[in-house]
Amino acid sequence: MPFDLGEKFRRFAYEEGANLCAFLNSKKIAASNFILDLQNLPASLSYLEKTLEKRRDIRKWHPTSKSVMICAWQYWNGKMKYPESLGGARNVNSFFARNSRKPPRDCLMDYLRKRNISFKIARYAFCHDYHKTIRRKLEKVLGRIQETCLNAKGKIFVDTSPVAEKVIGLLAGLGWLGKNGLLINKKLGSYFLIGGISLNLDISGFAEEYENLCADCNLCLEHCPTKALKGDGRVSFEKCLSYWTTQAKEKIPLEIKSKSGGWLYGCDICQEVCPYNKNLDATLDPELMPKF
Ligand code: SF4
Ligand code: SF4
């Protein structure tokens, strides 16, 4: 498949507001030495173990997959003011309902209220639920790909499918795996969301892995209040505030509540301190801007 077709498809993604877009040959995912850290997984994440084979090889999820298009949408930049955004979400339950999100956990809210600790919300949660927004955008991209190549078929993934999105992003050159466990791009930092399309077309040749630029920085490790970062890009989910406040179904342990520092939904500490998230000037798609 010629290169310019990939360039054309990338343009479709940029026209849907994506800040980054890259392609990866599907075989490369299975050939990588990606290992999902399954040690000490909490019960709410046991599905990761059950879907491991598909995550290791996208062709087990989408049998006709030949290449994967992976895109990133920035949701925060240096012009945005966190206190102002947080102020817009003051009435937290109705704010979450308006943005189609499940409400923050009552037990943590009660804990913080009783101690007069102000709430904080992770930046990605200021916009409408991105799963729907990004899926809609990728559906439009796939529609345009199919208008261009009549035999094109694709399967979209946005966070909830058994697809190793972060590994694909890494291998396709969207960024490197930071010590904070997130993909980091030199220009965009890590405040971006990813999603993509597995395609039955052979589009490759763009992949170029990023050099890891964390070097001797350890700021995220030093600032994580629960010491959830292992130092090699892996996260101990059972310690991470983001896991406990957005994914866990189990009761939040008192030790985690006492270290939450007010983070009621998600936690941005290991991104706030990252030097690559300073002075970001990326343009945001209006649909991924905070909605109050
Ligand atoms: S999200 Fe918060 S708790 Fe989790 S690793 Fe980052 S700083 Fe630590
Ligand atoms: S804070 Fe430093 S070590 Fe952590 S992800 Fe950012 S650059 Fe890497």
- Residue 86 Cβ inside 6 Å of ligand 2? The answer reads no
* Marked catalytic residue, from 4, 159, 216, 232: 159
Pairwise CA distance, residues 70 & 205, whole Å: 14
In a 13 Å sphere around the CA of 41, the CA atoms on its Cβ side amount to 13
Q: How far apart are the first and last CA of the chain?
A: 44
Choose among 132, 156, 145: nearest CA to 61. 156
Catalytic status, residue 159: yes
Pairwise CA distance, residues 143 & 153, whole Å: 9
Q: Whose CA is nearest to atom 2 of ligand 2?
A: 217
**Can you give the pLDDT at residue 3?**
57
Pairwise CA distance, residues 98 & 108, whole Å: 21
Q: What is the pLDDT along the chain (292 residues), one digit of tens a residue?
A: 555 789 999 999 999 999 999 999 999 988 887 666 656 667 777 777 788 889 899 999 999 999 999 999 999 999 999 999 999 888 888 888 888 888 899 999 999 999 999 999 999 999 988 999 999 999 999 999 999 999 999 999 999 999 999 999 999 999 999 999 999 999 999 999 999 999 999 986 666 678 999 999 999 999 999 999 999 999 999 999 999 999 998 999 999 999 999 999 999 999 999 999 998 998 999 999 887 7
Choose among 132, 134, 96, 136: nearest CA to 291. 96
Q: Say how far residue 206 (Cα) sits from the centre of its chain.
A: 21
Q: 């979450």: which residue's tokens?
A: 96
- Residue 242 Cβ inside 6 Å of ligand 1? The answer reads yes
**Can you give the pLDDT at residue 44?**
74
The bridge status of strand 67-74 relative to strand 20-25 is antiparallel
3-state per-residue secondary structure call for the chain: CCHHHHHHHHHHHHHCCCCEEEEEECHHHHHCCCCCCCCCCCHHHHHHHHCHHHHHCHHHCCCCCCEEEEEEEECCCCCCCHHHHHHHCCCHHHHHHHCCCCCCCHHHHHHHHHCCCCCEECHHHHCCCHHHHHHHHHHHHHHHHHHHCCCCCEEEECCCCCCCHHHHHHHCCCCEECCCCCEEECCCECCEEEEEEEECCCCCCCCCCCCCCCCCCCHHHHHCCCCCECCCCCECHHHCHHHHHHCCCCCCCHHHHHCCCCEEECCCHHHHCCHHHCCCCCCCCHHHCCCC
> Which of 219, 223, 229, 232 to mutate for ligand 2's pocket (most ligand atoms within 8 Å of CB)?
219
Q: Whose CA is nearest to atom 4 of ligand 1?
A: 240
Q: Whose CA is nearest to atom 8 of ligand 2?
A: 214
Counting from 1 in the atom list of ligand 2, the atom nearest the Cα of 221 is: 4
Q: Whose CA is nearest to atom 7 of ligand 2?
A: 214
In a 13 Å sphere around the CA of 255, the CA atoms on its Cβ side amount to 7
> Which of 213, 276, 278, 280 to mutate for ligand 2's pocket (most ligand atoms within 8 Å of CB)?
276
> Which of 236, 267, 273 to mutate for ligand 1's pocket (most ligand atoms within 8 Å of CB)?
267
Helix 3-15 with 130-148: angle, nearest 10 deg: 140
**Can you give the pLDDT at residue 51?**
86
Q: Whose CA is nearest to atom 6 of ligand 2?
A: 274
Pairwise CA distance, residues 193 & 140, whole Å: 17
> Domain residues of the chain, as ranges?
3-76+128-199, 82-126+215-276
Q: Which ligand is nearest to the Cα of residue 190, counting in written order? A: 2
Counting from 1 in the atom list of ligand 1, the atom nearest the Cα of 227 is: 8
Q: How far is the CA of 77 from the centre of ligand 1 (A)?
A: 20
Q: How far is the CA of 280 from the centre of ligand 2 (A)?
A: 15
Alpha-carbon Rg for the chain in angstroms: 19
